[in-house]
Amino acid sequence: MSVEVRAIKEEDIAQAWELMKGLAIFEDYIGTFVITPELVKQKMFKEKVANCLVADVDGEIAGILVYFFQQYTAQNKPYMHMKELFVKEGFRGQKIGTKLIQKAKEVAKEHGCWNIKWTVADWNTKAKEFYKKQGAEEDRVWLNYAIKID
């Protein structure tokens, strides 16, 4: 099995979108999931407001890591916001998530980022354990809030 972690290409969109949809099902927000392959193309390749790393296993997209950069911070350096990390069920336990995180660290460093931030569902204990193994620390100071815009 050969794993290549790289930036998404337009020809990867359909497979990557399936993983995005898989995450929406897993995290139980499929009822509000409106992303389409066309929107992925628009946001990542035309507007360039989001980015995606893919784990390509012999031509099959086995994992994705979607991210964007927050440019203005108190440190006067950007940070990377990891929006989605998802590995197909049949590929879990094969270090694909670790490889995606490692590549994200490289990309963040290339862009002068001071850190990588993300949120994780409180109930997702496997993800929390995985992130700790990657060297992540839980933020015990800041809580996430949201205002719904109708």
Please tell me the distance from the alpha carbon of residue 55 to that of residue 145, in angstroms, as a whole number.
31
108 SS3 class: helix
Q: Is the pTM of this model over 0.85?
A: yes
Radius of gyration of the chain (CA): 15
Per-residue confidence in pLDDT tens, the chain, 150 aa: 899 999 999 999 999 999 999 999 999 999 999 999 999 999 999 999 999 999 999 999 999 999 999 987 788 999 999 999 999 999 999 999 999 999 999 999 999 999 999 999 999 999 999 999 999 999 989 888 999 998
Which one-letter DSSP state was computed for residue 109? Answer: H
38 SS3 class: helix
Domain coordinates in residue numbering, the chain: 3-117
CATH topology of domain 3-117: Aminopeptidase (3.40.630)
